[in-house]
Amino acid sequence: MNRMFRDMHDAYGRVLDRLLESRKGKGVDPYGEEVINVRFFTDYNICNYSCPYCIAGQANKDEIVDEWDSTNYDTIIENLAKLPRRLNVRIGVGGEFFVSKKLVAGARRLSNADNVQSLNLITNLSLSEVQYRRHFQGFDTDKLAIVASYHPTEIKDHDKWLATASFVKEKFDFAVILVAYPPALAKLRRIRRELNSLGFVVFVQGYIGQYMGLSYPQSYTSKDRELLREVCYSRHDYEFFIEAKKPGLCNSGYKSFYVNMTGKVVPCGMVNGYEPLGDLSKSPHVKLNDGPQMCRSETCFCDTENMNTVVFEQNYYRSSKNQHVYEYRDEEKALADPSLGEWVKDYEDVV
């Protein structure tokens, strides 16, 4: 019996070795290979949509000041390109990324930087296929990952949106985000099923804000949570975006960092008061922490910071360039040991 167990163990080890080897060179990080996750938030807040659930306030256009201080943008891009580390960069906005030619030009430059392994961009996918083709000229498209926000209240031509999404999916690593806005919950399951049937990776983010005098995501009912548990991409997404789990140990500042338009580099953008790790408006120098630290926040809603928690790293690995495409580490083991199943495994941090 012991010999049989050893043979099975050795066979599993060989399969795992081959699996890890197959991931090399395909934009997928083997377990021990370090890539620094960077979130560069640009403060760009011009948008062609007015979603009622927008956390950037686009529903109230009268309160939006369409003035973007782009002073440091190109310098930060250049210094990111000079950092002596392999990077997975996400450029963030409070509006629609592809409305700005300057944003696109900077992203194009970054995609061609030798140290950038992957570049994540987000769009509401409101432009035409011709416009997207024009924007992506000159990019190293092998490095691009695109996340499209699906906003049913704003999409005027559903079929056209799906056609554009299919085009982007064929060209790039692609995923779709749905926001669990309370009035939209009744349609969420159907929309997700339709998008999945067309081959799209879909993830759901909890609504962050006020609705009918209630604060979300804390005010989702038990029935809401039952639905959201079903449609969320993973247990991790559900626990952090819906249940507002306290973060615990986090790799931010160690294996990831956040930079804003002043150039100031800090561990993450969720918490104020961090000592700067660098200033990319002045030099390509970032001094990272020696290891993970306890998060200072009670909640972690921002997706990039959320996926830098130690509990995420322990239980998932990124299976593509796209920050929202990942796999549960113990999926195969759970077939033999149900206690390792994604929704039942102990998720406490290992210090």
Backbone dihedral region for residue 345 (phi beyond 0: left; psi -120 to 50: alpha; all else: beta): beta
Choose the weakest-confidence range: 17-26, 86-95, 317-326: 17-26
The predicted structure's pLDDT at residue 286:
96
Q: Tell me what percent of the residues of the chain surpass a pLDDT of 90.
A: 68
152 band by pLDDT with thresholds 50, 70 and 90: confident
The predicted structure's pLDDT at residue 61:
54
304 band by pLDDT with thresholds 50, 70 and 90: confident
| Stretch 33-50: mean pLDDT | 85
Give the dihedral sign, CA 40/124/301/143: negative
Q: Where are the domains of the chain?
A: 33-340
**Whether pLDDT at 79 is above 70:** yes
Residue pair 331/269 in contact (Cβ under 8 Å)? The answer is no
* CATH (one of 2.115.10, 3.30.2000, 3.20.20, 1.25.40) for 33-340: 3.20.20
pLDDT per position as a tens digit, 102-131: 999 999 999 999 999 999 999 999 999 999
The predicted structure's pLDDT at residue 65:
61
What span, in angstroms and rounded, lies between the C-alpha atoms of 258 and 264?
Answer: 8
48 band by pLDDT with thresholds 50, 70 and 90: confident
Top mean pLDDT of 7-21, 24-38, 221-235, 294-308 is at: 221-235
Question: Count of CB atoms within 10 A of residue 32's CB?
Answer: 6
**Whether pLDDT at 22 is above 70:** no
| Stretch 273-296: mean pLDDT | 94
Both structure tokens of 320: 């593509």
What span, in angstroms and rounded, lies between the C-alpha atoms of 345 and 341?
Answer: 6
68 band by pLDDT with thresholds 50, 70 and 90: confident
**Whether pLDDT at 211 is above 60:** yes
The predicted structure's pLDDT at residue 80:
98
Both structure tokens of 88: 């997975």
Give the dihedral sign, CA 274/276/281/286: negative
What span, in angstroms and rounded, lies between the C-alpha atoms of 62 and 48?
Answer: 14
The predicted structure's pLDDT at residue 117:
94
**Whether pLDDT at 182 is above 80:** yes
**Whether pLDDT at 337 is above 80:** yes
**Whether pLDDT at 31 is above 60:** no
| Stretch 63-73: mean pLDDT | 78
Q: Tell me what percent of the residues of the chain surpass a pLDDT of 70.
A: 85
Would you call the peptide bond into 217 cis, given omega within 30 degrees of 0 as the criterion? yes
* Helix axis angle, 101-111 to 73-82, nearest 10°: 10
Cα distances (angstroms) measured from residue 307 to each of 6, 18, 173, 213, 326 = 35, 26, 18, 30, 10
pLDDT per position as a tens digit, 231-257: 999 999 999 999 999 999 999 999 999
The predicted structure's pLDDT at residue 33:
53
The predicted structure's pLDDT at residue 346:
84
Residue pair 299/331 in contact (Cβ under 8 Å)? The answer is no
CA proximity to 86, closest of 129, 144, 20, 27? 27
226 band by pLDDT with thresholds 50, 70 and 90: very high
The predicted structure's pLDDT at residue 27:
36
Question: What average pLDDT does the structure give for the chain?
Answer: 86
The C-alpha angle 325, 327, 333, rounded to 5 degrees, equals 175
Backbone dihedral region for residue 57 (phi beyond 0: left; psi -120 to 50: alpha; all else: beta): left
The predicted structure's pLDDT at residue 58:
53
Q: pTM of the prediction?
A: 0.85
The predicted structure's pLDDT at residue 243:
93
The predicted structure's pLDDT at residue 301:
83
Both structure tokens of 12: 């599993």
